[in-house]
Amino acid sequence: MEINETENGEKRSLNFIEQIVENDLKEGITGGRIQTRFPPEPNGYLHIGHAKAICMDFGIAERYNGICNLRFDDTNPAKEDVEYVDSIKEDIQWLGFKWANIYYASDYFQQLYDLAIQFIKEGKAYVDEQSSEEIAKQKGTPTTPGVESPYRNRPIEENLDLFIRMNKGEFPDGSMVLRAKIDMANSNMHFRDPIMYRIITSHPHHKTGTTWKVYPMYDFAHGQSDYFEGVTHSLCTLEFVVHRPLYDYYLDQFAGADYRPKQREFNRLNLTYTVMSKRKLLQLVKEGLVSGWDDPRMPTICGLRRRGYTPESIKAFIDKIGYTKYEALNDISLLESAAREDLKPRATRVCTILDPIKLIIDNYPEGKKEILTTDNNPDNPEAGVREIPFGREIYIERGDFREEADKNFYRLSPGGREVRLKSAYIIQATGCEKDANGNITTVHATYDPNTKSGTEGGNKKVKSTINWIDVDNSKEAELRLYDRLFVCENPSAEEGDFRDLLNPNSLTVVPQARVETFVANAKPGDKFQFLKTGYFNTDKDSTPEHPIFNLTVSLKESKK
């Protein structure tokens, strides 16, 4: 078995596409040349499924000294937009890949149109005036042949005249199509006179404006575009297996004998507790069910970025799940654990207080401040240490104090146990103050000056260590805690409306947490581990006046 190196230098065996490519190189089929493309339709933002295809397309080119081009499959102006073109470029670059060239399927509209004319002249295509419903009805089933269109045997001149006039805008959208004349009884449904061209006049094209009134279908554009560009390996997902014979058929009608692009298919990425169809993701955005394409709950690349995922964690996850010839549903917890592994050595450890309550250390001198030190990241010695001020007034978690506590409560309680303040001293609670409603407003405690961490007395063992922040070193912050977007594992497989399966608790806002001042001043994208809570990413809208942090992933996998 041949061996390959992954991102992080681990050895792994070749995937089956790599084996095909190595074999083709060995047999000299491509003249030693490797060229791939990533062909998104600019009708939405990229999601993590696309990242899997990107890693394959760009990865193969990198590994075998080839090139990978970015080609926008922009053949349906009704759904496409430059906003999507721009976001797709940004996301690919962020993932760390470089295309050799940018192409658009629309670059080939003239060549494809000329080819369609050639098909008509050779008697291989005809204009059908039936409605799409009619055409669909005549398709037959895999076991019963389809019905031939009454327009199938139109004279060539008539087809030519009609097609040219279709493109002049003489006929309304949907009134006629150009179909390939192949075989209405073929066991492959895609051979039953597939549609080559349809009329779209209702929307101008984002690049070609109103020049064209007819637009090629995917099958008539994709293989040809691959051929025009010199693609050697046209890699796509398994649903295109059934299209492959048609891909080859169209090429055989016009391509020279010198070379053929090869279509090869691998399994899609499907993830639990989310949806991956662009149509559904667009619906969530349009209906305001999420805050936008980059809502941190979305499986989009920009959503994952805002959530706190790094390109490395996404690539490590894709490496782990691998490429096969069988459809599967991958567990989202694999993606989450890739985030944990990646963030562990990167993310600065900080104390944050989600539900703050003030604690006063009555025997600590008023006005005094000490500078203590703490490790920035015990999992990464290079991260060094930082200084944290400590004084008489601090914030702790409300839940770390109980006025009445039994012996199983190891944290603060008047007259109760000794508790260590992380990286600081051991304290003991003495009492608390309450407001008129009986809510605790302030906790009182005393500290033992001989128990400072890092000194001999710091070795004294107590049952629990709690988080704290000096009042003067703290700022208010908004935390956004995310849970899964859907309540069921595979929302796409359920009957009924997928929107009814949205998790109503997928976002919990903690409006008044307390963070250290330097954390409040973090730049968007800065990553932290909030001790005892999880990994957090500084949101793109975060400012020192209103800091916002997104929960990337909890510290441990939840058991639910």
Q: Which residues bind ligand ATP (CB under 6 A)?
A: 39-41, 49-50, 52-53, 73, 236-237, 268-269, 276-278
- Contact between 268 and 49 under an 8 Å Cβ cutoff? The reply is yes
Residue 444 — φ and ψ, nearest 5°? -110, 145
Question: Token pair of 28, please?
Answer: 């000299």
Question: Token pair of 500, please?
Answer: 């009814």
- Comparing CB distances to ligand ATP, the nearer of 278 and 392 is 278
**Cα–Cα distance for residue pair 22/39, rounded to 1 Å:** 23
Minimum distance of ligand ATP from residue 188's CB (angstroms): 19
Q: Which does 66 bind (CB under 5 to 8 A by kind): Mg ion, ligand ATP, none?
A: none
- Contact between 7 and 40 under an 8 Å Cβ cutoff? The reply is no
- Count the Cβ atoms, other than its own, within 10 Å of residue 31: 9
Active site residue 268: yes
Minimum distance of ligand ATP from residue 288's CB (angstroms): 20
Question: Token pair of 385, please?
Answer: 């240490």
**Cα–Cα distance for residue pair 357/183, rounded to 1 Å:** 76
Residue in this structure with the two tokens 């979305």, named with its chain if needed: 298
- Comparing CB distances to ligand ATP, the nearer of 128 and 265 is 265
Closest CA to 359 of 448, 436, 271, 469: 469
Closest CA to 476 of 399, 549, 422: 549
Active site residue 540: no
Q: Which does 192 bind (CB under 5 to 8 A by kind): ligand ATP, Mg ion, none?
A: none
In sequence order, the 6+-apart residues with CB closer than 8 A to the CB of 34 are: 21, 25, 60, 61, 64, 65, 66, 67, 232, 233
- Comparing CB distances to Mg ion, the nearer of 41 and 526 is 41
Select the span of 12-20, 41-49, 262-270, 364-372 touching Mg ion (CB under 5 A): 41-49
Q: Which does 444 bind (CB under 5 to 8 A by kind): Mg ion, ligand ATP, none?
A: none
List 52, 71, 244, 278, catalytic entry: 278
Select the span of 35-43, 85-93, 129-137, 316-324 touching Mg ion (CB under 5 A): 35-43
Minimum distance of ligand ATP from residue 460's CB (angstroms): 55
- Comparing CB distances to ligand ATP, the nearer of 71 and 480 is 71
SS (H, E, C) 499-512: HHHECCCCEEEEEE
Q: Which does 269 bind (CB under 5 to 8 A by kind): Mg ion, ligand ATP, none?
A: ligand ATP
- Comparing CB distances to ligand ATP, the nearer of 49 and 389 is 49
Minimum distance of ligand ATP from residue 38's CB (angstroms): 6
Minimum distance of Mg ion from residue 74's CB (angstroms): 11
List 268, 280, 346, 358, catalytic entry: 268
Rg, Å, the chain Cα set: 31
- Binding stretches for Mg ion (CB under 5 A): 41
Active site residues: 41, 268, 278
